[in-house]
Structure 1
Amino acid sequence: MFQYHVWASKKLFDYLQSEEVKPLFFKEVQSVFPSISEVTAHMLTVDHLWFERIKGVKNEGDSPVQFTSVEEAAEKMLQLHEDMATFLAQADPNRLIEYQTSEGEPYTNTIGEVVTHIINHGTYHRGNITAILRQLGVKGVSTDYIYFLRERK
């Protein structure tokens, strides 16, 4: 399933870098996030936070990420996902990890549960980006799971 998340992120960033859509990356809108760049910064920050937790790294909270371009955002996200995929290929999805929330509350989950959360979180925010794109007058890009499966065949 993580490969779906990687595929969907790449598909989204390829589209965001297209000539039609690229100028909209920093455009401010009235939405859950004020711009596509803010949504992608949130996605990167959260994926990184959970990756650190999976690896057992105590993380005090990442500083907010800011991008200078859509290309920079794509590069950082795709590099993080490559690092995560390499790590997860060797990891036991049933291994329990202990971590603290940003508020300091302790929790325990399996790596598989956390990865499912990461995937679901990414899907939710790719939907936010699609809504912003439509608000700005352009279509979104479909990153539904079924399209991932069809492309793999």
Structure 2
Amino acid sequence: MDQQLTKIYDYHVWANQRVFTRLKEIPDEVLEKNIQSVFPSILDAAKHIYRVDVVWLNVMMEKSFDEVTALMAVESEKIKTMTFADLENAYKNIANEYKKFFSSLGYKDQPVVTEHPQFGKLESTVSELVQHVSNHGTYHRGNITAMLRQLGYPGASTDYIFYLFEKQTEEAR
């Protein structure tokens, strides 16, 4: 994978961490509170992002639909009882798994072919799927921000431009 696409994934990890930093400031009962929104609770929205990150890593690794479905059944059971701290740790672990996978590719893009019983066969690349993972996370981090605001709490700013400014500052040090 080229540097730009690695940066896209790094942005996804950075943005998730920004959200987690904000969520640590919110009482646990608020994170688990049922509200009228896209997800039943903020914690459920965060769990959804994680679950989909797991799916797409396994798709990139060219596991079959049946293998991914079986894995997701196990993950879904684990996720049900995860605390916020457990979920944050799971995010760190999946990010490390992505980085190991990218390293195994020599950071070079590669084709990925996946089949889905409803949508058919998709021929794409790792870089396209990384872009999807990042876009998916961005969409649902926005849901979390909206849910926080609905409950009277500020969201976390996760715009890509802020990531770029922060990385530039870090590199200048």
Q: Is it true that 1:45 corresponds to 2:59 in the alignment?
A: no
CA shift, 1:112, in A, is 0.5
Matched letter for residue 141 of structure 2: R
Map of 1:139 onto structure 2: 154
Q: Which runs of 4+ in 1 moved over 6 A?
A: none
Alignment of 1:1-153 (within 5 A): 1-18=8-25, 20-60=26-66, 61=69, 62-63=72-73, 64=76, 65-91=79-105, 93-101=108-116, 103=118, 105-152=120-167, 153=169
- Does the Cα contact within 8 Å between 1:37 and 1:67 map onto a contact in 2? no
Matched letter for residue 84 of structure 2: V
**Structure 2 stretches lacking a partner, 5+ long:** 1-7
Larger radius of gyration: 2
TM (norm. structure 1) is 0.90
CA distance in 2, matches of 1:108, 1:55: 14
CA shift, 1:67, in A, is 4.0
What is the aligned length?
A: 152
TM (norm. structure 2) is 0.81
**Structure 1 stretches lacking a partner, 5+ long:** none
CA shift, 1:68, in A, is 3.2
SS at match of 1:139: coil
CA shift, 1:59, in A, is 4.1
**Matched residues, percent identical?**
32
- Does the Cα contact within 8 Å between 1:98 and 1:108 map onto a contact in 2? yes
CA distance in 1, matches of 2:83, 2:152: 21
CA shift, 1:93, in A, is 4.8
CA distance in 2, matches of 1:151, 1:32: 30
Matched letter for residue 63 of structure 2: V
- Does the Cα contact within 8 Å between 2:19 and 2:156 map onto a contact in 1? yes
- Does the Cα contact within 8 Å between 1:21 and 1:138 map onto a contact in 2? no
- Does the Cα contact within 8 Å between 2:114 and 2:121 map onto a contact in 1? yes
SS at match of 1:37: helix
